Amino acid sequence: MLTGHTRAVAALIRDAGTDRDITDRATVLHTESTAAGLPWLTPLIQTTVAFHHSIRGAQDDLTATIDRLREATANGDFAYYVDIATAMGDLPQPADSAIQWLDDAHTVRERWRALVTARQDHLRGVQ
């Protein structure tokens, strides 16, 4: 079952930024993974949705997704996903972030944002 859920998350990442029902698929995957006793997949799924909204420039949807991500990581587990999501969306780093990266935060944020811009270029057919 876990392998199937992992494949489903990978498919969401593969399709991020497209019109392939990302948010609906993510909602179904979240429901299925929670029912299967895999609630730790929720932050990963929400981060994938944040990637999708960042690519599309859907700021309101991104903000709502980050709010859900904050709720899902409120116990501290996987809290770094909030920092990743804000970086992908080119939003300010959370003021309450206690995440310590191996590289400086600015470099890490640039790398996550670069994934978004590379995907945008790919979808536009820019080489």
Q: What pLDDT does residue 127 have?
A: 57
Q: How far is 59 from 61, CA to CA, in rounded Å?
A: 5
- DSSP H stretches of helix in 16-104: 22-35, 41-56, 59-72, 80-88
| pLDDT, tens digit, 9 for 90 and up, residues 48-86 | 999 999 999 999 999 999 999 999 999 999 999 999 999
Residue 25 has pLDDT above 90, yes or no: yes
Residue 101 has pLDDT above 70, yes or no: yes
Query: Using 50, 70 and 90 to split pLDDT, how confident is the model at 98?
Result: confident
Q: What pLDDT does residue 96 have?
A: 80
Average pLDDT over residues 29-49: 96
